[in-house]
Amino acid sequence: MTAEPQAAFESYRDEALAAIASAGSEAELESVRIEFLGKKQGRLKDLQTLLGKAEPAEKPLLGKQFNEVRTDVEGALEARRGELVRPIAAVAAVDVTLPGTRPVIGRRHPLSKTMDEFKDIVGRFGFSVATGPELEDDHHNFVALNIPPVHPARDPLDNFYLAVAGKSGEKVLMRSQTSTVQIRVMEQSQPPVRIVSLGRCYRPDTIDSTHHCMFHQMEGLMIDTDVTMADLKTVLKLFATAFLGDDVSIRFRPSFFPFTEPSVEVDVLWRDRWLELGGAGMVDPNVLRQVGYDPEQVSGFAFGLGIERFCMMRYQITDIRRFFENDVRFLSQF
């Protein structure tokens, strides 16, 4: 195993702990937090990039070390913050006649926990998290994704169109996929691009044990000078293994999507049957041209995975409707 990532982890930990210990005020501590744990420009992001460049065989162990280092720094930061505010709290007036505080009732929703774990896994692969609006225009939801006007995906019966129009007179709708975020990211940045977007999507599907009109997706996008289908299959296999375990079985079936070519469906073996997790493929050259990229110079892959499906397998949940019924008896199990 290469020593460079390990040495970088140790150096990061030592310098972060020293800076935290020397912070003499909450303002100084916040500056340390931004420097070492900031999501956009912090040194933690540099470690994620380094981790993403590691050999596939090294990533599981390096990912574990990365998480341990981050946990140590976050723990030290919280402990120091408590030390800095304690003198103020000690002299504050306390009204002993007030009733005591009640314990917090409830737990994090299993979908929220799943999305947090997704972010942690793809972060080890070098992907950053991007966000976008849930109320979308026709261009980002369809046109830029190479979906023609006659495509069934645009059918009013398959989308939640709203009775309002954008500034240009376009129809607006509740986004039917998180692929819209990849368009917005590519419009605003140049390759290389390596992002994921997690969030809600809306389609008027018939609600049953595995389908719902509101669901969550994780969209992934990687654009660079030499990205291949082998890279896509490797990322998805490693992701499924990291979340579901080493013994998970997945398969790729040829499929068709307007925005990828070639395209595949990704399935996982669950309860003795194959369950579809999402779609993926190489980004269609027409999509690259829509955002000003040259398909002769860059290539990339995209994937969209159903978060509910992964959560159901992790927690052995057999009905997707349980997530949205707000039954405390169900939610209290997690």
Q: What is the 3-state secondary structure (H, E, C) of the chain?
A: CCHHHHHHHHHHHHHHHHHHHHCCCHHHHHHHHHHHHCCCCCHHHHHHHHHHCCCCCCHHHHHHHHHHHHHHHHHHHHHHHHHHHHHHHHHCCCCCCCCCCCCCCCCCCHHHHHHHHHHHHHHHCCCEECCCCCEEEHHHHCHHHCCCCCCHHHCHHHCEEEEEECCCCCEEEECCCCHHHHHHHHHHCCCCEEEEEEEEEECCCCCCCCCCCEEEEEEEEEEECCCCHHHHHHHHHHHHHHHHCCCCCEEEEEEEECCEEEEEEEEEEECCEEEEEEEEEEECHHHHHHCCCCCCCCEEEEEEEEHHHHHHHHHCCCCHHHHHCCCHHHHCCC
Does residue 20 carry a pLDDT above 60? yes
Does residue 93 carry a pLDDT above 70? no
Q: Which of 21-25, 263-267, 308-312 has the lowest mean pLDDT?
A: 21-25
Across the beta sheet with 160-165, the strand order is: 135-137, 171-174, 160-165
Question: What pLDDT was estimated at residue 10?
Answer: 84
Give me the mean pLDDT over the 95-116 stretch: 76
Q: Which of 66-80, 111-125, 141-155, 183-197 has the lowest mean pLDDT?
A: 66-80
Question: What pLDDT was estimated at residue 111?
Answer: 93
Give me the mean pLDDT over the 75-100 stretch: 69
Does residue 256 carry a pLDDT above 70? yes
Question: What pLDDT was estimated at residue 87?
Answer: 52
Question: Using 50, 70 and 90 to split pLDDT, how confident is the model at 90?
Answer: very low
Closest C-alpha among 221, 220, 219 to residue 193: 221
Q: Which residues contact 136 (CB under 8 A, 6 or more apart)?
A: 172, 173, 174, 175, 180
Question: Using 50, 70 and 90 to split pLDDT, how confident is the model at 103?
Answer: low
Which of 74-78, 232-236, 245-249 has the highest average model confidence (pLDDT)?
A: 232-236
Give me the mean pLDDT over the 106-112 stretch: 84
The whole-angstrom separation of Cα 19 and Cα 7 is 18
At 267-277, the pLDDT tens digits run 988 778 888 88
Question: Using 50, 70 and 90 to split pLDDT, how confident is the model at 165?
Answer: low
Does residue 1 carry a pLDDT above 50? no
Question: What pLDDT was estimated at residue 276?
Answer: 87
* Cβ contact 141:219 at 8 Å: no
Give me the mean pLDDT over the 319-329 stretch: 88
Question: What pLDDT was estimated at residue 27?
Answer: 83
How much is the mean pLDDT over the chain?
A: 86
* Cβ contact 282:232 at 8 Å: yes
Question: Using 50, 70 and 90 to split pLDDT, how confident is the model at 82?
Answer: confident
Question: Using 50, 70 and 90 to split pLDDT, how confident is the model at 134?
Answer: very high
Give me the mean pLDDT over the 277-292 stretch: 94
Q: Which amino acid is at 304?
A: G
What is the set of domains in the chain, with CATH numbers?
3-91 (no CATH), 110-132+177-331 (3.30.930.10)
Question: Using 50, 70 and 90 to split pLDDT, how confident is the model at 199?
Answer: very high
Question: What pLDDT was estimated at residue 89?
Answer: 46
The whole-angstrom separation of Cα 45 and Cα 255 is 35
Tell which wins on pLDDT, 285 or 103. 285
Question: Using 50, 70 and 90 to split pLDDT, how confident is the model at 58?
Answer: confident
Question: What pLDDT was estimated at residue 224?
Answer: 95
Structure token pair of residue 17? 């702990």
Greatest pairwise CA separation for the chain in angstroms: 74
